[in-house]
Protein backbone atom coordinates (compact mmCIF):
# COMPACT_ATOMS: atom_id res chain seq x y z
CA UNK A 1 0.00 0.00 0.00
CA UNK A 2 1.38 3.38 -1.04
CA UNK A 3 1.94 5.74 1.88
CA UNK A 4 0.59 9.25 1.25
CA UNK A 5 2.99 12.17 1.58
CA UNK A 6 1.92 14.69 4.20
CA UNK A 7 2.25 18.24 2.89
CA UNK A 8 1.11 20.23 5.92
CA UNK A 9 4.64 21.44 6.53
CA UNK A 10 5.15 22.93 3.08
CA UNK A 11 5.70 26.69 3.23
CA UNK A 12 4.79 29.35 0.69
CA UNK A 13 8.42 30.49 0.74
CA UNK A 14 9.44 27.04 -0.55
CA UNK A 15 6.93 27.23 -3.40
CA UNK A 16 8.07 30.73 -4.31
CA UNK A 17 11.67 29.51 -4.36
CA UNK A 18 10.77 26.62 -6.68
CA UNK A 19 8.90 28.93 -9.08
CA UNK A 20 11.74 31.46 -9.06
CA UNK A 21 14.42 28.81 -9.81
CA UNK A 22 12.25 27.38 -12.59
CA UNK A 23 11.86 30.87 -14.13
CA UNK A 24 15.49 31.96 -13.84
CA UNK A 25 17.28 28.61 -14.30
CA UNK A 26 19.69 29.05 -11.37
CA UNK A 27 19.75 29.67 -7.64
CA UNK A 28 21.59 32.97 -7.67
CA UNK A 29 19.15 34.67 -10.06
CA UNK A 30 16.23 33.28 -8.08
CA UNK A 31 17.73 34.76 -4.91
CA UNK A 32 17.99 38.19 -6.58
CA UNK A 33 14.40 37.95 -7.80
CA UNK A 34 13.09 37.19 -4.30
CA UNK A 35 15.54 39.52 -2.52
CA UNK A 36 16.95 36.74 -0.33
CA UNK A 37 20.32 35.03 -0.06
CA UNK A 38 21.33 32.16 -2.31
CA UNK A 39 21.67 29.91 0.72
CA UNK A 40 18.04 30.68 1.63
CA UNK A 41 16.95 29.49 -1.81
CA UNK A 42 19.05 26.33 -1.51
CA UNK A 43 17.61 25.60 1.94
CA UNK A 44 14.04 26.19 0.76
CA UNK A 45 14.42 23.77 -2.19
CA UNK A 46 16.21 21.15 -0.10
CA UNK A 47 13.58 21.16 2.66
CA UNK A 48 10.76 21.05 0.06
CA UNK A 49 12.33 18.01 -1.54
CA UNK A 50 12.67 16.41 1.91
CA UNK A 51 9.01 17.09 2.67
CA UNK A 52 7.90 15.49 -0.60
CA UNK A 53 10.51 12.76 -0.76
CA UNK A 54 11.35 13.49 -4.41
CA UNK A 55 14.00 15.38 -6.37
CA UNK A 56 12.54 18.46 -7.98
CA UNK A 57 15.64 20.01 -9.54
CA UNK A 58 18.71 18.66 -11.23
CA UNK A 59 21.74 20.77 -10.25
CA UNK A 60 24.66 21.18 -12.61
CA UNK A 61 27.49 23.48 -13.67
CA UNK A 62 25.14 25.47 -15.87
CA UNK A 63 22.29 25.92 -13.43
CA UNK A 64 19.26 23.97 -12.33
CA UNK A 65 16.50 22.37 -14.34
CA UNK A 66 13.27 20.71 -13.33
CA UNK A 67 12.95 16.95 -13.17
CA UNK A 68 9.77 15.41 -14.61
CA UNK A 69 8.15 15.34 -11.16
CA UNK A 70 9.48 18.86 -10.59
CA UNK A 71 7.62 20.08 -13.66
CA UNK A 72 4.35 18.61 -12.40
CA UNK A 73 4.84 20.01 -8.89
CA UNK A 74 5.68 23.40 -10.40
CA UNK A 75 2.25 23.61 -12.06
CA UNK A 76 0.53 23.08 -8.72
CA UNK A 77 2.86 25.55 -6.99
CA UNK A 78 2.07 28.22 -9.58
CA UNK A 79 -1.67 27.59 -9.20
CA UNK A 80 -1.42 27.88 -5.40
CA UNK A 81 0.49 31.15 -5.57
CA UNK A 82 -1.99 32.50 -8.11
CA UNK A 83 -4.85 31.60 -5.76
CA UNK A 84 -3.04 33.42 -2.98
CA UNK A 85 -2.83 36.54 -5.16
CA UNK A 86 -6.55 36.29 -5.85
CA UNK A 87 -7.25 36.10 -2.13
CA UNK A 88 -5.26 39.30 -1.67
CA UNK A 89 -7.17 40.98 -4.49
CA UNK A 90 -10.50 40.03 -2.94
CA UNK A 91 -9.40 41.44 0.41
CA UNK A 92 -8.23 44.65 -1.26
CA UNK A 93 -11.55 44.98 -3.06
CA UNK A 94 -13.44 44.43 0.18
CA UNK A 95 -11.43 47.15 1.94
CA UNK A 96 -12.11 49.49 -0.96
CA UNK A 97 -15.85 48.94 -0.50
CA UNK A 98 -15.77 49.46 3.24
CA UNK A 99 -14.56 53.03 2.75
CA UNK A 100 -14.37 55.30 -0.23
CA UNK A 101 -16.26 57.87 -2.25
CA UNK A 102 -18.40 58.01 -5.39
CA UNK A 103 -18.71 61.45 -7.01
CA UNK A 104 -21.65 61.92 -9.36
CA UNK A 105 -22.60 64.80 -11.61
CA UNK A 106 -25.97 64.94 -13.37
CA UNK A 107 -28.61 67.22 -14.83
CA UNK A 108 -31.67 67.98 -12.72
CA UNK A 109 -34.09 65.31 -13.98
CA UNK A 110 -31.73 62.44 -13.20
CA UNK A 111 -30.56 64.01 -9.94
CA UNK A 112 -34.15 64.46 -8.76
CA UNK A 113 -35.92 61.32 -9.97
CA UNK A 114 -33.30 58.60 -10.56
CA UNK A 115 -30.36 59.02 -8.21
CA UNK A 116 -32.21 59.06 -4.86
CA UNK A 117 -33.45 55.48 -5.41
CA UNK A 118 -30.05 54.25 -6.59
CA UNK A 119 -28.15 55.96 -3.76
CA UNK A 120 -30.56 54.55 -1.15
CA UNK A 121 -30.04 51.00 -2.46
CA UNK A 122 -26.28 51.50 -2.68
CA UNK A 123 -26.05 52.86 0.89
CA UNK A 124 -27.91 49.80 2.20
CA UNK A 125 -25.11 47.66 0.82
CA UNK A 126 -22.16 49.97 1.46
CA UNK A 127 -23.12 52.34 4.29
CA UNK A 128 -19.58 53.66 4.83
CA UNK A 129 -19.04 54.84 1.25
CA UNK A 130 -19.67 58.57 0.76
CA UNK A 131 -21.78 59.52 -2.29
CA UNK A 132 -21.81 63.12 -3.50
CA UNK A 133 -24.00 64.58 -6.23
CA UNK A 134 -23.43 67.81 -8.15
CA UNK A 135 -26.49 68.97 -10.08
CA UNK A 136 -26.38 71.07 -13.25
CA UNK A 137 -29.03 72.66 -15.40
CA UNK A 138 -27.36 71.57 -18.65
CA UNK A 139 -24.86 69.03 -19.87
CA UNK A 140 -21.87 71.36 -20.24
CA UNK A 141 -21.34 71.38 -16.48
CA UNK A 142 -21.51 67.58 -16.33
CA UNK A 143 -18.77 67.13 -18.92
CA UNK A 144 -16.62 69.80 -17.29
CA UNK A 145 -16.81 68.05 -13.90
CA UNK A 146 -15.72 64.77 -15.47
CA UNK A 147 -12.97 66.36 -17.54
CA UNK A 148 -11.50 68.19 -14.54
CA UNK A 149 -11.53 65.05 -12.39
CA UNK A 150 -14.13 66.44 -9.99
CA UNK A 151 -16.62 63.62 -10.68
CA UNK A 152 -16.37 59.88 -11.38
CA UNK A 153 -19.75 59.29 -13.07
CA UNK A 154 -21.81 61.69 -15.15
CA UNK A 155 -25.30 61.62 -16.64
CA UNK A 156 -25.75 63.53 -19.88
CA UNK A 157 -28.15 63.86 -22.81
CA UNK A 158 -25.53 65.15 -25.20
CA UNK A 159 -23.49 62.80 -27.43
CA UNK A 160 -19.99 62.43 -25.98
CA UNK A 161 -16.63 62.55 -27.74
CA UNK A 162 -13.52 60.34 -27.56
CA UNK A 163 -12.61 61.72 -24.12
CA UNK A 164 -15.44 59.74 -22.55
CA UNK A 165 -16.60 56.18 -22.29
CA UNK A 166 -20.40 56.31 -22.38
CA UNK A 167 -23.36 54.01 -22.80
CA UNK A 168 -27.10 54.43 -23.17
CA UNK A 169 -28.82 54.47 -19.80
CA UNK A 170 -32.45 55.23 -20.63
CA UNK A 171 -34.75 56.80 -23.20
CA UNK A 172 -37.06 59.61 -22.18
CA UNK A 173 -40.01 60.53 -24.43
CA UNK A 174 -41.08 64.13 -25.04
CA UNK A 175 -44.78 64.71 -24.42
CA UNK A 176 -47.34 67.40 -25.10
CA UNK A 177 -48.75 68.74 -21.82
CA UNK A 178 -52.05 70.63 -21.89
CA UNK A 179 -53.83 72.58 -19.13
CA UNK A 180 -56.60 70.73 -17.28
CA UNK A 181 -59.38 73.05 -18.52
CA UNK A 182 -58.54 73.00 -22.23
CA UNK A 183 -60.82 71.04 -24.55
CA UNK A 184 -59.56 67.59 -25.43
CA UNK A 185 -57.81 67.34 -28.80
CA UNK A 186 -59.00 64.88 -31.39
CA UNK A 187 -56.90 61.74 -31.40
CA UNK A 188 -54.56 60.95 -32.94
CA UNK A 189 -53.04 64.36 -32.35
CA UNK A 190 -52.14 66.19 -35.60
CA UNK A 191 -49.49 68.80 -36.37
CA UNK A 192 -52.23 71.18 -37.53
CA UNK A 193 -53.88 71.05 -34.11
CA UNK A 194 -50.53 71.38 -32.37
CA UNK A 195 -49.90 74.66 -34.23
CA UNK A 196 -53.02 76.21 -32.66
CA UNK A 197 -51.63 75.97 -29.10
CA UNK A 198 -49.74 78.75 -27.33
CA UNK A 199 -46.46 77.08 -26.32
CA UNK A 200 -44.31 77.57 -23.22
CA UNK A 201 -40.78 76.34 -23.93
CA UNK A 202 -37.22 76.66 -22.61
CA UNK A 203 -34.97 79.31 -24.23
CA UNK A 204 -33.66 78.49 -27.71
CA UNK A 205 -30.13 77.85 -26.37
CA UNK A 206 -31.33 75.14 -23.94
CA UNK A 207 -30.42 71.60 -25.06
CA UNK A 208 -34.00 70.28 -24.73
CA UNK A 209 -35.31 73.28 -26.65
CA UNK A 210 -32.75 72.67 -29.41
CA UNK A 211 -33.81 69.02 -29.60
CA UNK A 212 -37.52 69.87 -29.78
CA UNK A 213 -37.08 72.66 -32.34
CA UNK A 214 -34.76 70.47 -34.42
CA UNK A 215 -37.36 67.69 -34.43
CA UNK A 216 -40.07 70.06 -35.61
CA UNK A 217 -37.75 71.58 -38.22
CA UNK A 218 -36.84 68.20 -39.74
CA UNK A 219 -40.55 67.46 -40.15
CA UNK A 220 -41.25 70.87 -41.68
CA UNK A 221 -43.40 71.99 -38.76
CA UNK A 222 -43.55 75.40 -37.10
CA UNK A 223 -43.07 75.90 -33.38
CA UNK A 224 -43.57 79.35 -31.88
CA UNK A 225 -43.09 79.98 -28.18
CA UNK A 226 -45.40 82.45 -26.45
CA UNK A 227 -43.14 82.22 -23.36
CA UNK A 228 -39.54 81.15 -22.93
CA UNK A 229 -38.97 79.87 -19.40
CA UNK A 230 -35.81 78.23 -18.06
CA UNK A 231 -37.09 76.14 -15.14
CA UNK A 232 -39.21 73.05 -15.78
CA UNK A 233 -41.20 73.50 -12.57
CA UNK A 234 -42.16 77.04 -13.60
CA UNK A 235 -43.31 75.81 -17.00
CA UNK A 236 -45.44 73.10 -15.36
CA UNK A 237 -46.99 75.70 -13.05
CA UNK A 238 -47.86 77.98 -15.96
CA UNK A 239 -49.41 75.13 -17.95
CA UNK A 240 -51.43 74.09 -14.89
CA UNK A 241 -52.87 77.64 -14.74
CA UNK A 242 -53.90 77.55 -18.39
CA UNK A 243 -51.28 79.96 -19.73
CA UNK A 244 -50.22 77.64 -22.53
CA UNK A 245 -49.13 74.13 -23.51
CA UNK A 246 -45.61 72.71 -23.42
CA UNK A 247 -43.51 69.88 -24.79
CA UNK A 248 -41.38 68.29 -22.10
CA UNK A 249 -39.52 65.05 -21.40
CA UNK A 250 -41.39 62.66 -19.08
CA UNK A 251 -38.64 62.64 -16.47
CA UNK A 252 -38.41 66.42 -16.42
CA UNK A 253 -42.20 66.72 -16.07
CA UNK A 254 -42.47 64.69 -12.87
CA UNK A 255 -44.29 65.12 -10.60
CA UNK A 256 -47.22 66.20 -12.76
CA UNK A 257 -50.44 67.64 -11.34
CA UNK A 258 -52.92 64.73 -11.62
CA UNK A 259 -55.35 66.74 -13.75
CA UNK A 260 -52.72 67.66 -16.39
CA UNK A 261 -53.52 66.37 -19.89
CA UNK A 262 -50.68 64.31 -21.40
CA UNK A 263 -50.35 63.29 -25.07
CA UNK A 264 -47.71 61.78 -27.35
CA UNK A 265 -46.43 63.86 -30.27
CA UNK A 266 -47.64 62.95 -33.81
CA UNK A 267 -44.09 61.73 -34.50
CA UNK A 268 -42.42 60.56 -31.27
CA UNK A 269 -39.26 62.25 -29.97
CA UNK A 270 -36.95 60.82 -27.30
CA UNK A 271 -33.84 62.08 -25.57
CA UNK A 272 -31.15 59.49 -24.92
CA UNK A 273 -29.72 59.73 -21.41
CA UNK A 274 -26.17 58.42 -21.17
CA UNK A 275 -23.85 57.43 -18.38
CA UNK A 276 -20.37 58.80 -19.01
CA UNK A 277 -16.92 58.34 -17.47
CA UNK A 278 -13.57 59.81 -18.43
CA UNK A 279 -11.65 57.25 -20.51
CA UNK A 280 -8.24 57.64 -18.83
CA UNK A 281 -9.47 57.96 -15.24
CA UNK A 282 -8.53 55.37 -12.61
CA UNK A 283 -11.65 54.58 -10.62
CA UNK A 284 -11.79 52.92 -7.17
CA UNK A 285 -13.90 49.77 -6.59
CA UNK A 286 -16.70 51.85 -5.05
CA UNK A 287 -17.42 53.48 -8.43
CA UNK A 288 -17.93 50.14 -10.17
CA UNK A 289 -20.07 48.88 -7.28
CA UNK A 290 -22.29 51.95 -7.74
CA UNK A 291 -22.59 51.23 -11.48
CA UNK A 292 -23.62 47.65 -10.68
CA UNK A 293 -26.40 48.97 -8.44
CA UNK A 294 -27.47 51.42 -11.14
CA UNK A 295 -27.69 48.68 -13.79
CA UNK A 296 -29.60 46.44 -11.39
CA UNK A 297 -32.32 49.05 -10.81
CA UNK A 298 -32.27 50.52 -14.32
CA UNK A 299 -31.39 47.90 -16.95
CA UNK A 300 -29.96 49.28 -20.23
CA UNK A 301 -32.48 50.84 -22.66
CA UNK A 302 -34.91 51.52 -19.83
CA UNK A 303 -37.81 53.75 -20.85
CA UNK A 304 -39.23 56.29 -18.46
CA UNK A 305 -42.87 55.93 -17.48
CA UNK A 306 -44.87 58.50 -15.58
CA UNK A 307 -45.84 57.41 -12.08
pLDDT, tens digit (0-9, with 9 covering 90-100), for 144-193? 899 888 999 999 988 778 888 888 889 999 999 999 989 888 888 889 88
User: Is residue 1 scored above 50 in pLDDT?
Assistant: no
Pairing of strands 153-156, 270-278: antiparallel
Q: Exposure string (b/e) for 120-154, b if CB count within 10 Å is 16 or more? A: eebeeebeebebebebbebbebbbebbeeeebbbb
**262 has pLDDT over 90:** yes
Q: Domains of the chain (ranges plus CATH)?
A: 12-91 (1.10.10.10), 101-169+272-303 (3.40.190.10), 171-271 (3.40.190.290)
Neighbours of 292 (CB within 10 A): 11
d(CA 222, CA 219): 9
Segment 63-87 shows an average pLDDT of: 87
What pLDDT is attached to residue 89?
Answer: 63
Q: Is the pTM of this model over 0.75?
A: no
Amino acid sequence: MVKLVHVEGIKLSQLRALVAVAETGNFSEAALQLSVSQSAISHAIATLEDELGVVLLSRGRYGARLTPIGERVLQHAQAMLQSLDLIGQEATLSRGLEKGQVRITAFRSVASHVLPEVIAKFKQRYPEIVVTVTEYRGDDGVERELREGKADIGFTCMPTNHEFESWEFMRDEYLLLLPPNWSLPKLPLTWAELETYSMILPPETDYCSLLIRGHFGKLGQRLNAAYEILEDSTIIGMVAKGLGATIMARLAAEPLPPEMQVYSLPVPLERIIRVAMLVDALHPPAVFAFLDTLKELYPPCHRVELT
